[in-house]
Amino acid sequence: MAEIKDITEARKKILGNYFDYSMLFMVIFLLGFGLLMVYSASSYTSEQSYGDAAYYLKRQFIADVLGIIAMFVVMFIPYKFWSKFPIAAYAISIVSIILIIPFGIESHGAKRWLKVAFGFNVQPAEIAKLCMIVVLAVVVAKMGKGIRAWKGFFVAIGWSLPIAALIRLITNNMSSALIVVGIAFLMVFVASPDYKKFILMVLAGAALFAVLVLVARAGMSNGNFRFGRLAVWLDPESQAQGQGFQVLQGLYAIGSGGIFGKGLGESMQKINYLPEAQNDMIFSVVCEELGIFGAFGIMLIFLLLLWRMMIVAQNAKDSFGLMLVVGVMAHIAIQVMLNIAVVSNSIPNTGVSLPFISYGGSSVLFLMAEIGLVFSVARGIEVSQS
């Protein structure tokens, strides 16, 4: 018995905790690149509006620093700690969204922000995305094999629907509502080996979208805003001075960039032509200044980041840790794909920011907290030390 104990103690000494330095490098690189592009895309309008070309850059830098702090704080909290508070996380999501009604700050024609301090606002939809990842990770982990049945599937997805509905009804933010449901869908998809139901639902969703497109094309939308976006997507030139203006300016930026771009800081579309150049449309500025080469480089970094997260998920110690990482992967993947698809007019405009790169304090702060969750799960992985 003494020998067995000695062997066990010796084995413990050669084990350490895993830390993915390459993933940390990619996150920091994306933040740094984001600061560079925010300054490039916003310097002209910042100078015109605030008399300071670095106005947006300074605010984004502060958000990035706070995000890095949040990442390290969450990283060193054992991820299993969060499994104790799914109900609290769900309640925080609901309450933060409802607080928009009496205390919401309106900007760009939408009431989606809460004022916190020092002139900074927080977007409850971003809080909800993070909280829903925790909630759904607990739900899916506890359901186990029960997730494979139709009942388990609808129960798991059902947790996301009230939050998505509140985001849509109170903040009028359809894109964030879809992202919340999309995160739930992908988390359940990974947890269930039976893919038939998912194929059926994707086909049903595609059929519904096709019907909506036909309605928009036939002009039977009766002035509905969402149908209007579909009509713009189908023919942006028909509303070149209206809803199609942003889409066309983004396409002009992408097309004029060519293979290697005009050069950093040399975008012309950002000069009073491209609305929200530093936010939702920043990828079009990347394409104009750095060309297809630069755009594909950024997409490659996102793919590598998701791949490193997948490695962490595959080696997670338990299903809760696995689902946490899958939820973060789903969030980042959905937003990257939606943003690039919107900018290239591959899908109708939904107003989605590009993770880590677009201007937006709430987005980067809570995304970095999610990255902290991934690192926390990674730290739970034991590896042999040479």
Is residue 384 classed as helix, strand or coil in its secondary structure?
A: strand
The burial of 277, by beta-carbon neighbours within 10 Å (0-12 exposed, 13-18 middle, 19 or more buried), is given as: buried
CA–CA distance, 133 with 135 (Å, rounded to integer)? 6
Identify residue 143 by its one-letter amino acid code: M
How many other C-beta atoms can be found within 10 angstroms of the C-beta atom of residue 208? 10
Contacts of 135 (CB under 8 A, 6+ apart): 86, 89, 90, 93, 159
15-37 burial, b if ≥16 CB within 10 A, otherwise e?
A: eeeeebeebbebbeebbebbbbb
Contacts of 306 (CB under 8 A, 6+ apart): 329, 332, 333
Query: Shortest CA distance to 147 belongs to which of 161, 160, 137?
Result: 137
Token readout for 53 is 């070309």
CA–CA distance, 103 with 125 (Å, rounded to integer)? 15
Q: What is the DSSP string of 289-337?
A: HHHHHHHHHHHHHHHHHHHHHHHHHHT-SSHHHHHHHHHHHHHHHHHHH
Token readout for 3 is 């020998």
Taking the C-alpha atoms of 242, 246, 251 and 252 in order, what is their torsion angle to the nearest 10 degrees?
A: 80
pTM, entire model: 0.91
Task: Give the pLDDT score at 69.
Answer: 97
Digitized pLDDT (tens) for each residue of the chain, 386 residues in all: 445 455 445 444 545 578 889 999 999 999 999 999 999 999 999 999 898 999 999 999 999 999 999 999 999 999 999 999 999 999 999 999 999 999 888 876 678 888 887 777 899 999 999 999 999 999 999 998 888 888 888 889 999 999 999 999 999 888 999 999 999 999 999 988 777 777 888 888 888 878 877 776 666 555 566 666 777 777 777 777 777 788 888 889 999 999 999 999 898 888 888 888 899 999 999 999 999 999 999 999 999 999 999 999 999 999 999 999 999 999 999 999 999 999 998 888 887 899 999 998 899 999 999 999 999 999 988 776 55
The phi and psi torsions of 73 (rounded to 5 degrees) equal -60, -50
CA–CA distance, 5 with 362 (Å, rounded to integer)? 50
Residue 273 C-alpha from the chain's centroid: 26
